[in-house]
Amino acid sequence: MPKTTDKPKYLCVNGDESEPGSFKDRQVLEFNPHQLIEGTLITCYAIGAKVAYVYIRGEYHKWIKLFQTALDEAYASGFIGEKMKDTFKTDFSCEVYIHKGAGAYICGEESSLMNSIEGHRGYPRVKPPFPAQNGLWGCPTTINNVETIANVPKIIEKGWEWYSKIGEPKHPGTILFGVSGHINKPGVYELPTGTLLTDIIYKYAGGVPGDKKILCVIPGGSSMPPLRGDKLEGIKMDTESLKEAGSAIGTGGVIVMDEDTDLVKVLARISKFYYHESCGQCTPCREGTSWLVRILNRILDGNGSSHDLDMLIDVATNIEGNTICALGEAAAWPVRFMITRFRDYFEQRVSKEITLPVKNKVHSMRNTAFPLADIKD
């Protein structure tokens, strides 16, 4: 953020949390709302912002209500707003507002989030300029995730040296891991970075129901490259280690799939999500995501071929790097990496060596009422 500017500065706290497999920000909003408020105020003080917007996913009615109650309490106690000056004997004051999303995943992308707050359609902006130079209403703006901001009070209280000693030196601290899928104890686990993925699954989250083998794990929300279940040994959960393992930490949402999972259906469902959530500005994302769903549907219908697998990788590769925002990569990575890493599985599916009952097709037509009921399981 520029140190000197005659423009107002803003903080946006990103609680849009719409990535499938991610459900940890809502834990902060529910159980530590005052920690998030404190982090928001300290961050505003540090960057010189007098207004903060906490952008919360529209479907999070319960958490919006809970967080509003906490904000009201903090205002009533003189911790936010003009009264701060008396309470803390300072010249600094700051307002904090909740801004509700309206059900669009793309509004979690930082520039789209700012357009949404400004009252425009949630289209991502071309960068540069970046928000720190040219953000909300053209003013310097910092955008950080709920979990990031909630970490601030403890770091200020105990010091950065304390924080940097937790977990992996290159990526210190803790992560809120949301564990879901075929798992005995799904939930959110706060653990140091560098915790073994297998420890998260077996030691903390109780392992896989029926002691089944793991076929696939997505380590950081549905857009991150999936990992093979037979190659999980030794993988640590931090930025560097996951990069080495061929994936990324993303949102820390660990999705576990057992050996009986229909990976074609999983991939079709993930692809349908990104297709549906594409804002449509860029041709590779708008058209490419639709083709991914159509080809995957063909395979689900039992009419796929080995050529379709190559075509899926080709379409995904042509989306990557050719779009305004990273939704392009979010749509492309699961497809490219799942097919590359599970080629044997997908080849067997298209050659019908593995046949699974095709119960639910994932529909691809835009502008038709999506028969969501068809894919509810």
Ligand X SMILES: Cc1cc2nc3c(=O)[nH]c(=O)nc-3n(C[C@H](O)[C@H](O)[C@H](O)COP(=O)(O)O)c2cc1C
116 binds ligand X (CB under 6 A): no
Candidate residues 227, 266, 327, 338; the one interacting with ligand SF4 per rule CB under 6 A: 327
DSSP string spanning 285-303?
A: HHHHHHHHHHHHHHHHTT-
The smaller minimum CB distance to ligand X, of residues 218 and 330, is found at 330
Positions in 111-130 near ligand SF4 (CB under 6 A) = 124
Indicate the residue whose CB is closest to ligand X.
108
Candidate ranges 88-96, 283-291, 322-330, 353-361; the one touching ligand X (CB under 6 A): 322-330
278 binds ligand SF4 (CB under 6 A): yes
22 binds ligand SF4 (CB under 6 A): no
Spatial separation of the C-alpha atoms in residues 273 and 367, rounded to whole Å: 15
Spatial separation of the C-alpha atoms in residues 51 and 142, rounded to whole Å: 11
The smaller minimum CB distance to ligand X, of residues 110 and 308, is found at 110
Q: Name the binder of 110 from ligand X, ligand SF4, none, CB < 5-8 A by kind.
A: ligand X
Positions in 141-160 near ligand X (CB under 6 A) = 143-145, 148
Distance linking the first and last C-alpha atoms of the chain: 46
Spatial separation of the C-alpha atoms in residues 287 and 256, rounded to whole Å: 30
Q: Name the binder of 18 from ligand SF4, ligand X, none, CB < 5-8 A by kind.
A: ligand X
DSSP string spanning 292-336?
A: HHHHHHHHHTT---HHHHHHHHHHHHHHTTSSSSTHHHHHHHHHH
Are 41 and 82 contacting, i.e. CB atoms less than 8 angstroms apart?
no
Q: Taking the complex as a whole, how short is the minimal distance between the CB of residue 144 and ligand X, in angstroms?
A: 4
Candidate residues 36, 80, 104, 106; the one interacting with ligand X per rule CB under 6 A: 106
225 binds ligand X (CB under 6 A): no
Positions in 352-371 near ligand X (CB under 6 A) = none
- Three-state secondary-structure class, residue 175: strand
110 binds ligand X (CB under 6 A): yes
The helix-helix angle for 327-341 and 263-277 (nearest 10°) equals 170
17 binds ligand X (CB under 6 A): yes
The residue length of the chain stands at 377
Are 54 and 15 contacting, i.e. CB atoms less than 8 angstroms apart?
yes
14 binds ligand X (CB under 6 A): yes
- Three-state secondary-structure class, residue 346: helix
Binding positions for ligand SF4, rule: CB under 6 A? 106, 124, 278-282, 285-286, 323-325, 327-328
Binding positions for ligand X, rule: CB under 6 A? 14, 16-19, 106, 108-110, 143-145, 148, 325-327, 330
